[in-house]
Structures are given as C-alpha cells and as structure tokens.
Amino acid sequence: MNLATKDIRHNFGRFALTTVGVGLLLMIVMGMGGIYRGLIREATLLVDRIGGDFWVVQGSTRGPFAEISRVPPILEDRVRGVPGVASARRFVSHTIQREFRGRPLRIVVQGLAWPDDQGAWLPLIAGRPLGQAHLEMVADRSLGLPLGEKVKLGKDIYEVVGLTSGMVGSGGDGLGFFTVSDAQSIQFDLPGDAIRLDRQSRRARAEAMDMGRVQPLVLERSAGMSDGIPALGPPMVSAVLVALEPGADPHAVAATIASWPDVTVYSEQQQKDLLLSGMVDKARRQLGLFRALLIIISTIIMALIIYTLTLDKVHDIAMLKLIGARNSVIVSLILQQALLIGALGYGLAYWFGTFAFPRFPRMVTIEAPDLLQLAAIVLGISVLASLLGIWKAVRIEPNKVLS
C-alpha cells in the first residue's frame, strides 16, 4: 500500500486546496515567462513581417523604432541606384493618441510605400489591403475598429478596409497601416491657426531681409503654402527599406550605402538587436527578475506547506518508527507528496493559463522550451521543498506516539 496515496485520501480537502494554490502561483511564474517572450515578439514583429534586408536611417541614429529617424524621401531613388538593390521603399512610423467615441485611441501609424507596398504581406483576418492612395487604412483588431469604420485623423476621414490580428508595436499598441503620404499628413497635421502663424512668421523674417524689401514677390511667396517654397523640401520619412537582388553581395551593398555620410544602414538582425537592447531591455530584465523572485517564493511556500503537512503527521510518523519502519519509507512518503503537489500544480497552472493568458492586455507567448524549463524548475522546487519536511520527519522520536 502506498502511504502517500493513503495520507492524501485521508486529508484530501487540504491537499486539494494546497495544490490549487501552488497551481495559481506557478501560473503566474508561467505567465511571467510568457510575457517576457511576448515582449520580444511584439518588439520584433514588424521587422520580421515587413521583409527588408536593410534599413537605411538617419545618420548616427538607431532609428526608426529605437530612436527618431528623419531622412528625405529622395533617398529612396539614391538607394535604387546601388548595384545589387532590387527595390527600395519609404517607411514612416510614429505613434498618435486621439479621442474616438469617448475613449482614447492610441495607434502606431505605419506608412506603406504606395503603390509598391499595398500591405499584401499583412496577416489579414477580414477585408483587404489598401486599394487606393488616400483615405484608407488597415487596422489591427486590438484597436477596436470594425471593418468599414470611419475615423477622423487630422483633417481627413479614413475608412477601415482591412483588419489584422496580433500586429502591435513594442508598447502593445495596435498598428494602423496607411500610405506614406497619408501617414505624413497625420504626422504633420497642424491646426489652421498654427499654419497662419507659421506663414506670418515666415513673412516677417522675409521682410527683415534685403531680398524681401527689394523683391516684394518674395513676401507673397513666403506667406503661401509650404510646398510652394522651393527652399522647403517635402516631409521627411522615417527610413528606407532595401530588398536585395538574388545572389547580390549584402556586405558590398551595405558598405556602399554606409559610405554616404548622411545615413546609417542596419541589417534586419541588427535592427532587432537595437530593439531588444534599447526599447525593451529594461522591461525584459525586470520581468526576468520578477520571475526569479516568484520561483524563490514558490520554493519557500511549498517548503512551508510540506513542513506543515509533516507536523500534522508527527503522531503517525512516530507510530511508523515504533513498529520498525525505516527512515527511507518516511522520506519516500514526504518526497512523493511534494512531487505530486508540484506535478498537479504544474498541470493546473497550464490549464488555468490557457483560459487566462489570451485575455491579458499584452501578448503572452508560451513556447515548448519554456514549458520544459519550468517543468524542470518545478521538479527542483518540489525536491528542495521536501527537504525541510524530511529534516523534521527524521528527527521525530518513536516515543512521540505516547504524547
């Protein structure tokens, strides 16, 4: 007869509650690991999906995600002239927050180089990619915008023509995909008063110059639209994405672009490393620290539970010793119970997690290697936690049965 099983049946209620409590604690440990993985996946998701061999950004910056980057749109044409480059696309990325139907709407705006990039690579769950150059958007479903919804951003109204799933930024905000021109219109939108004040300021500066006094037409031009002034260039973009021709030497292409003094070039892997070592590094380390603390706390709690269960069996253990039971039998009783609590708690943690984790506001990614690692940790916790109970059990004297 297995003594551990018999003892569990005798104290089933306490054992069940203990197992559920350990399971919930292990679910939090499992969730911390999943949030850690989800944080990495969210940070690198767009870089993985968009498919660029190189990212050309503003010189001496770590853009466009880890740091603000501004490059002229004509850089796209310069990059196309490099031998080995198959295509170059403009890319715009920035975050906005607006009020929408009484709630805050935070969107990571991504500009796609229409018409070369219509968003066909997006993981659509409904609708279609961008079908025209203006006033359409593809939104992630985490934004809460249904298909066909119309959203006013800046001075224009955009219609949601497609929905994606799981496309979020490093901060957990949903992505919205627009054409580059629309993304720039949203980014550089100014109220009418601000535009009038800016034009008046330009006119005042022109009046203070000799050219403004000698050539009155300059004053009229300075007070006009910005795109009508030759000295003012078009709005900047965040980066230029480069795709290589089959068989092209990536090192040679990168060296050619890197020789330009106004830009910096990063490979796809370097862009991921920048994200992980910059934007999410502290969050990753903090989650790792919390996970380590939870593992230590789980070990202490399980040790105290096993110790308490052992104290409840002092009379029974003394009786076993009195009738000649070896210490190995008693050690096996306590160790088996600790392993059973750990195993059942692990199973409950996984079962609870399948219901709870999809409802978390941030992505929780549970991978097989993490589950195996946690299983090994739980095994170690169970063995370590049983040592305190075993220490107490072997010190119990047979004469305790008389007390």
3-state secondary structure of 338: helix
Residue 260 clears pLDDT 70, i.e. is over it: yes
| 300 against 253, higher pLDDT | 253
Give the pLDDT band (50/70/90) at residue 1.
Answer: very low
Q: Dihedral of CA 114/118/122/126: which sign?
A: positive
Give the pLDDT band (50/70/90) at residue 218.
Answer: low
Q: How far is 169 from 230, CA to CA, in rounded Å?
A: 36
Residue 264 clears pLDDT 50, i.e. is over it: yes
Averaged pLDDT for residues 84-101: 87
Q: Are 266 and 54 in contact (CB under 8 A)?
A: yes
Give the pLDDT band (50/70/90) at residue 302.
Answer: confident
Q: How far is 305 from 388, CA to CA, in rounded Å?
A: 10
Q: Dihedral of CA 262/267/273/275: which sign?
A: positive
Residue 4 clears pLDDT 70, i.e. is over it: no
Averaged pLDDT for residues 307-323: 68
- Transcribe 206-246 into DSSP letters: HHTSHHHHH-HHHHHHHTS-GGG-TTSPPPPBSEEEEEEPT
Q: What is the pLDDT of residue 403?
A: 57
- Say if residue 44 is exposed, middle or buried (CB neighbours under 10 Å; 0-12, 13-18, 19+): buried
Q: How far is 396 from 318, CA to CA, in rounded Å?
A: 6
Q: What is the pLDDT of residues 340-361, one digit of tens each?
A: 888 888 899 899 888 888 888 7
Which residues does residue 150 pair with via DSSP β-bridges, in sequence order? 159
What are the structure tokens assigned to 52, written together? 């660029």
- Transcribe 50-77 into DSSP letters: H--SEEEEETT--TTTSS---B-TTHHH
Averaged pLDDT for residues 321-337: 72
Query: Which residue ranges make up each domain of the chain?
Result: 3-43+281-402
List the one residue out of 332, 327, 322, 316 whose CA is nearest residue 386.
332
Residue 394 corresponds to which amino acid?
V
Q: What is the pLDDT of residue 43?
A: 77
User: Among the listed ranges 192-206, 293-307, 377-391, which one has the minimum average pLDDT value?
Assistant: 192-206
Q: How far is 49 from 114, CA to CA, in rounded Å?
A: 17
Q: What is the pLDDT of residue 6?
A: 66
User: Among the listed ranges 5-19, 68-82, 286-300, which one has the minimum average pLDDT value?
Assistant: 5-19
CB burial readout 232-268, b (16+ within 10 A) else e: eeebbbbbbbbebeeebeeeebbebbeeeeebbbbbb
E strand or H helix at 87: strand 85-100
What are the structure tokens assigned to 363, written together? 């992505």
Residue 9 clears pLDDT 80, i.e. is over it: no
Q: What is the mean pLDDT of the chain?
A: 80
Give the pLDDT band (50/70/90) at residue 233.
Answer: low
Q: Which residue has the tokens 């915008």?
A: 145
E strand or H helix at 313: none
Q: How far is 403 from 393, CA to CA, in rounded Å?
A: 16
Residue 56 corresponds to which amino acid?
V
- Transcribe 128-156 into DSSP letters: -S--SSSSEEEEEGGG---TT-EEEETTE
Q: Which residue has the tokens 């070039």?
A: 265
Give the pLDDT band (50/70/90) at residue 137.
Answer: very high
Q: What is the pLDDT of residue 318?
A: 67
Averaged pLDDT for residues 7-30: 79
Q: What is the pLDDT of residues 36-60, one digit of tens each?
A: 888 888 778 888 888 788 999 988 8
Q: What is the pTM of this model?
A: 0.72
For the ranges 65-69, 97-101, 176-180, the maximum mean pLDDT occurs at 176-180
Counting residues of the chain whose pLDDT is more than 70, the rounded percentage is 79
Q: Which residue has the tokens 């903090």?
A: 286
Q: Dihedral of CA 164/165/168/172: which sign?
A: positive
Q: What is the pLDDT of residues 173-208, one digit of tens each?
A: 889 999 988 988 888 776 666 656 666 666 666 656
Q: What is the pLDDT of residue 321?
A: 65
| 382 against 234, higher pLDDT | 382
- Within its chain, how far is the Cα of 50 from the centroid? 16
E strand or H helix at 260: none
Counting residues of the chain whose pLDDT is more than 90, the rounded percentage is 8
List the one residue out of 62, 52, 56 whose CA is nearest residue 240.
56
Residue 74 clears pLDDT 80, i.e. is over it: yes
Averaged pLDDT for residues 282-305: 80
